[in-house]
């Protein structure tokens, strides 16, 4: 009896010690990474051509904020410490569904905010537009928010034109069943630009995704991204969204993906 009591006592004590150690490791070690949202970089109302201020505010301060909080909570709970978000994303098959959903949610939203911005005149775009207009090589000339000539030429090469890229991407975004994302990527296998979709909060960098590649542009087609203004009309949200695409960001991603 004395032995059994001692064992119980020992388990009780070590249990407390182990809990104490986990707590210190999770919350007090200075090197333990917690993820944070980056500032949006523009005002909630700046994308009003396509997305109303209230939707942007709720999306950023509630939905996107929840992914970061839930990610940090899940990592602390599982005692996982990584240096960068991509350390999780690239190896996502090694982690729980909770981490997959919330690491993806955090990564995708941080990326999505940068894909958009207030419309501003781009002299290079205007020149590119005029050149192509004269040459008669593009059909949608009413679009004020244009990519640079370099991107337009790449779209011509990989999709047969900027208008085709927009149509293919829009169709892909419309075709997502339920909640998910549409992506323009640099496809590692095909070694060219490609369009793809992912369900839920998955993305093309995850090692569980069928078509993998470097994201250049993303569109959130979860209903929380558009429902206040567009209700069930996802098609109208997608059409208007092109007006607030930040083509400079897309070009930076393109340059990084191909090192040219």
Contact residues for Mn ion (CB under 5 A)? 220, 222, 225
User: In terms of CB distance, is 30 or 39 closer to Mn ion?
Assistant: 39
User: In terms of CB distance, is 146 or 173 closer to Mn ion?
Assistant: 173
User: In terms of CB distance, is 155 or 169 closer to Mn ion?
Assistant: 169
User: In terms of CB distance, is 202 or 220 closer to Mn ion?
Assistant: 220
Q: C-alpha 239: how far from its chain's center?
A: 19
Q: Any bridge partners for residue 197, and if so which?
A: 182
User: In terms of CB distance, is 105 or 117 closer to Mn ion?
Assistant: 105
Q: How far is the CB of 225 from Mn ion (least distance, A)?
A: 5
Q: How far is the CB of 37 from Mn ion (least distance, A)?
A: 12
Q: How far is the CB of 116 from Mn ion (least distance, A)?
A: 12
Nearest to Mn ion by Cβ — which residue?
A: 220
Measure the CA–CA gap between 65 and 210, rounded to whole angstroms: 28
Q: How far is the CB of 138 from Mn ion (least distance, A)?
A: 31
DSSP per-residue codes, 95-134: S-HHHHHHHHHHHHHHHHHHTB------HHHHHHHHHHHH
Tell me the HSE value of 127 on the side-chain side, using a 13 A CA sphere.
Answer: 6
Q: How far is the CB of 40 from Mn ion (least distance, A)?
A: 13
Measure the CA–CA gap between 177 and 126, rounded to whole angstroms: 36
Tell me the HSE value of 97 on the side-chain side, using a 13 A CA sphere.
Answer: 1
């Amino acid at each position: 009896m004395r032995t059994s009591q001692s064992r119980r006592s020992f388990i009780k004590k070590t249990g407390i010690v182990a809990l104490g150690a986990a707590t210190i490791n999770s919350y007090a070690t200075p090197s333990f990474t917690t993820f944070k949202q980056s500032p949006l970089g523009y005002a909630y109302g700046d994308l009003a051509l396509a997305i109303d201020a209230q939707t942007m505010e709720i999306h950023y301060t509630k939905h996107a904020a929840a992914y970061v909080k839930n990610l940090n909570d899940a990592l602390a709970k599982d005692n996982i410490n990584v240096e960068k978000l991509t350390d999780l994303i690239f190896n996502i098959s090694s982690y729980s569904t909770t981490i997959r959903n919330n690491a993806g949610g955090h990564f995708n939203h941080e990326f999505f905010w940068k894909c958009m911005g207030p419309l501003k005149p781009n002299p290079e775009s205007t020149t590119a537009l005029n050149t192509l207009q004269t040459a008669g090589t593009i059909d949608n000339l009413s679009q004020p928010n244009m990519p640079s000539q370099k991107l337009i030429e790449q779209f011509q090469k990989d999709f047969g034109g900027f208008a085709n890229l927009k149509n293919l991407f829009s169709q892909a975004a419309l075709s997502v069943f339920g909640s998910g994302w549409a992506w323009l990527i640099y496809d590692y296998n095909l070694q060219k630009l490609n369009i793809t979709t992912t369900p839920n909060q998955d993305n093309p960098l995850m090692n569980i995704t069928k078509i993998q590649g470097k994201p250049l542009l993303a569109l959130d087609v979860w209903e929380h991204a558009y429902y206040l203004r567009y209700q069930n009309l996802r098609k109208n949200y997608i059409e208007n969204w092109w007006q607030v695409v930040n083509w400079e960001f897309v070009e930076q991603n393109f340059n990084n993906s191909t090192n040219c």
